[in-house]
Chain A
Amino acid sequence: MGRTLACVERARTGDELAASELYDLVYPLMLRIVRAYHPRYTPEEDLAQTVLMKAFTKLHQFSGKVPFEHWLARVAVNTCLKELKRERVHPELRWADLSEPEERILRKLTSSAEDLPASETLAAHELVSRLLGQLSPADRLVIVLLHLEGKSVEEVCQLTGWSRPLVKVRAFRARRRMRSHLQQLLHEASP
């Protein structure tokens, strides 16, 4: 963290080597964030570039009150949210759109109360991504942060700038919508 901060300070004074080093240091973090939220139609590398472009042109706005990584995460989250808002098309999710592993996951969910096996995590993740695609950008973001990344409500507030009640209400509504889509899929599976 100290190395990152030193690079930020030097990059702000025009040190090119420091800027290059800073890019390499923060790129993995950036890619991780972007992978979690990136819109379906924007390649993750392009989005990572957009985020880093914003961050590097706003380096003078970093006050140092929070760790640089937190500041960067907030820039990334806001950029991803804006990109997601551009995606206006939410094609309806139908049983016929699901892949075989995704269908298997849904059947296992209803047939057994046990946790899903570790071998099915990829299919579960893809199915969740499909369900998230049906939600609004804000709803999608709150589910990813709270449930997939395991962040606390407090951390979500810091990252998004939303108030605590807003985060809770959004999470509640987003879960309700996801549940409704899931119910519809299961209904189609067992007519």
Chain B
Amino acid sequence: MNPMDQHLERLLEAAANLPSLPTQAPSVPHKAKVLARWRTLYTQPNWVQWASLLQHALGWVSVLGLVIAAIAVVQIKSTVPDEWSLAHTIVSLPWSALW
């Protein structure tokens, strides 16, 4: 080993012996930024929860609409004496009953 190699070796050995610096606590803004980024990828955003709620609400409204329509049909059948007056009865029904 030539002298310059020895110098470099000793220098590197001395540098490697430097004790590691104490670790300070993570900075709060830095941590918040990292967690915010993580949140966008790994947690459900609020709009997904709202969309799910809206989907359920629409389902229930549809069921309710069907029930009202069924009641309306039953009422029509029980009150209409013949098929010719059916159209007339439908027209004369209040629109709110269909909804």
Binding site for B on A (CB under 8 A): 11-14, 16, 19-20, 23-24, 27-28, 31-32, 35, 45, 48-49, 52-53, 56-57, 59, 105, 109-110, 113, 115-116, 118, 120-122, 124-125, 127-129, 143, 147-150, 175, 178-179, 182-183, 186
> Which of B13, B26, B44 contacts A14 (CB under 8 A)?
B44
Question: Is B84 positioned at the interface, with any CB of A under 8 Å from its CB?
Answer: no
**B38 located at the interface, meaning its Cβ lies under 8 Å from any Cβ of chain A in the complex:** yes
Across the interface, which residues of A come within 8 angstroms of B31, CB to CB?
20, 23
Separation of A31 and B31 alpha carbons in the complex (Å): 13
Cα(A24)–Cα(B10), bound, Å? 36
Q: Which of B14, B17, B21 has the most CB of A within 10 A?
A: B14
Judging by beta carbons under 8 Å apart, are B26 and A23 in contact?
A: yes
| Docked pose: A143 CA to B15 CA in angstroms | 12
Q: Which residues of B contact A179 (CB under 8 A)?
A: 4-5, 8
* Neighbour of B23 across the interface among A27, A53, A150, CB < 8 A: A27
Minimum C-beta distance from B21 to chain A (A): 7
A-B contact count (CB 8 A): 108
Distance, CA A21 to CA B38, complexed state (A): 13
Once the chains bind, are B11 and A12 in contact (CB under 8 Å)?
no
In this complex, the interface size class of chain B, counting residues with CB under 8 Å from chain A, is 20 to 34
- Is A53's CB under 8 angstroms from B42's CB? no
Please give the distance in Å from B12's CB to the nearest CB on chain A.
4
In the complex, 13 of the A-B residue pairs with CB atoms within 8 angstroms, ordered by the A residue number, are A19-B35, A19-B42, A23-B31, A27-B26, A45-B27, A49-B34, A53-B33, A56-B35, A124-B18, A127-B11, A147-B16, A175-B5, A186-B4
Distance in Å: Cβ of B42 to nearest Cβ of chain A: 5
The reply to whether A148 and B7 contact each other, CB–CB distance below 8 Å, is no
CA distance A35 to B6 in the complex (A): 26
How far, in angstroms, from A32 to B19 measured CA to CA in the complex? Answer: 11
Q: Which residue of B lies closest to A150 (CB)?
A: B16
Q: Is residue B79 contacting chain A, with contact meaning CB distance below 8 A?
A: no
B56: interface (CB < 8 Å): no
0 or 1 for each of B65-94: is its CB under 8 Å from A? (1 = yes): 000000000000000000000000000000
Within 8 Å CB of A109, what residues of B? Answer: 7, 10-11
List the B residue with the shortest CB-CB distance to A12.
B42
A122-B11 CB under 8 A given contacts A16-B35, A23-B35: no
